[in-house]
Amino acid sequence: MKIITTIHLAIGFILAMFCIVTFGYIKQTQRVQKSVEAVLATSDVIREGESAQKMLLDLETGMRGYLLTGRQTFLSPYNKGQVIIARTVRRLDSLTEAYPSQNQLVHLIEQDAQEWIINFSEPLIAARAKVHLSSSHKQYYDSLFNATAQKAKGKLIIDRARKKFELIEAEEEIIKRAKVREMNDSLMQTNDIALGLTLLAILAGSLTAYLLGKTIRKRFMKMTALANSIANGNYQVTLTDTRHDEISSLTHSLNRMAHKLQQSFDHLTKMNRELDQFAYVVSHDLKAPLRAINNLAEWIAEDLDSQEPEITNNLTILRGRVQRMENLINGILEYARVGRKEIKKSTFSVNSVLKEALENLSPPASFQVKIAADMPTLTAEKTLVYQVFSNLLSNAFKYHHTQNGCVEVRAKELENMYQFEVQDDGPGIPKEYHQKVFGIFQTMEARDVKESTGIGLAIVKKIIEEKGGSIWIESDKGQGTTFVFTWPKEKKDLPVLLETAYVS
């Protein structure tokens, strides 16, 4: 299975878990909502019951006021109460449909209300309205009043209805408390389920991520080890990966790269052997004819008893050209060997290298060479550092336009490099030649004017760049020349303060 497929499945599993959490939360929320609606319904039943009882009280109050005074204003709350109580009973009937016992009580209350109105209040109100018409009407009202109101028949009916209301309220209170408990239980259950499912989703996601990460990390560590082996020059290592995913493709690519590098290394080794063989041929087989030509020129000059200046000059030029050719061959060999031959590193003072170079170069006595006091101590290939400074100092002496010049050597410590400067007060180098002079066989003056192979600066540039540094020129015509180059630091490089040296 491909890694991207595994990742998609893991993400899908985590998302599915969260979907389950959401679905469970929604279901529990619906249960809570139903419980809340049930609690609100019981509250409505209690509220409507209380409203109906208040209306019964208004009916009684309005009727009594009218019976005592005969004034029609007392019948206003009585008439209004009949309408409201009828509407309230209908609402109670609708609210208690789910509870048969309560619904039956509502119907009984409706019957009690109708009985009170039809058999008690209405006859009394009608009789009271005719009292002023005749004494017989008054007698009828008095007898009716004594037979009903005085014997509290209306009160008995109202009290019976109130007891039914009390039963409804009591039962609704029980239902309400039960629904509240159910709602609280649902809320607690919702929180528990949501928390449990969320923790389960997090645990499953974390476990999946851990297992996937561990598997990928282990395989990447193997590939890192393979890459490090390749970087250290061991190209014969291989990594076995039986899976068929993206990392397997990368592993196979690394194996192919290691194989290709091994082939290239073998080919390079073969080419180096052939180059060494060629160097041997150049050193011996090509130099031998040159030496023979030089010897013949000497012998001819000795045997030719001629005083012709032209012939003597031509023989001298011939020997000079032979010497130049030998120097060119030596320069080419030296340039080709840069970076190919492993040289052991050592720790040394740059000041000592400069002194050694100056002793070997033997500059004119009129020249002044100043070496700064802050020359560092390097851990590097001493021979290569010597070659760099020797070539730069040699050029400063050779191409100076006077016999009493001055050369200064300075050093500056950077973060990861040392920066060296070799400055002279010679004729300078025009800007258009700043890059050209580092090319092989390039010289500023004709070889007949200044004998040179044109390889020295090319060797310097190659050595410095092979070691990770860089070199450039700061100069202009007639303003002297400063060669600036950088040399990478090693861990053991420490700055050493030396006394300023003056060599004249």
Average pLDDT over residues 325-350: 69
pLDDT score of 449: 43
pLDDT score of 305: 63
Whole-prediction pTM: 0.44
Q: How far apart are the first and last CA of the chain?
A: 78
pLDDT score of 495: 46
Mean pLDDT value across the chain: 78
Residue 450 has pLDDT above 50, yes or no: no
Token code pair at residue 206: 């974390």
pLDDT score of 228: 82
- Residues near 463 by Cβ (< 8 Å), separated by ≥ 6? 338, 339, 384, 387, 388
- Residues near 403 by Cβ (< 8 Å), separated by ≥ 6? 364, 366, 367
450 contacts 398 by C-beta, under 8 angstroms: yes
More confident site: 363 or 411: 411
What percent of the chain is modeled with pLDDT above 90?
10
pLDDT score of 485: 95
Residue 299 has pLDDT above 90, yes or no: no
- CA–CA separation, 137 vs 256, rounded Å? 126
167 exposure class (CB count in 10 Å sphere: 0-12, 13-18, 19+): middle
Residue 266 has pLDDT above 60, yes or no: yes
Buried b (16+ CB within 10 A) or exposed e, 299-333: eebeeeeeeeeeeeeebeebbeebebbbeebebbe
pLDDT score of 354: 93
397 contacts 468 by C-beta, under 8 angstroms: no
- CA–CA separation, 242 vs 481, rounded Å? 63
SS3 track for 323-389: HHHHHHHHHHHHHHHCCCCCCCCEEEEHHHHHHHHHHHHCCCCCCEEEECCCCEEEEECHHHHHHHH
Average pLDDT over residues 334-345: 65
Residues in the chain: 504
Q: Which of 73, 45, 76, 72 is nearest to 58 (CA)?
A: 76
Residue 6 has pLDDT above 60, yes or no: yes
pLDDT score of 376: 92
- CA–CA separation, 14 vs 205, rounded Å? 6
pLDDT category, 98, cuts 50, 70, 90? confident
Average pLDDT over residues 321-330: 64
- Residues near 415 by Cβ (< 8 Å), separated by ≥ 6? none
Strands 346-349 and 494-495: unpaired
Residue 503 has pLDDT above 50, yes or no: no
- Residues near 174 by Cβ (< 8 Å), separated by ≥ 6? none
Beta bridge partners of 484: 421, 472
Digit-coded pLDDT (tens) for 201-249: 788 778 877 877 777 777 778 778 877 877 777 767 777 776 766 677 7
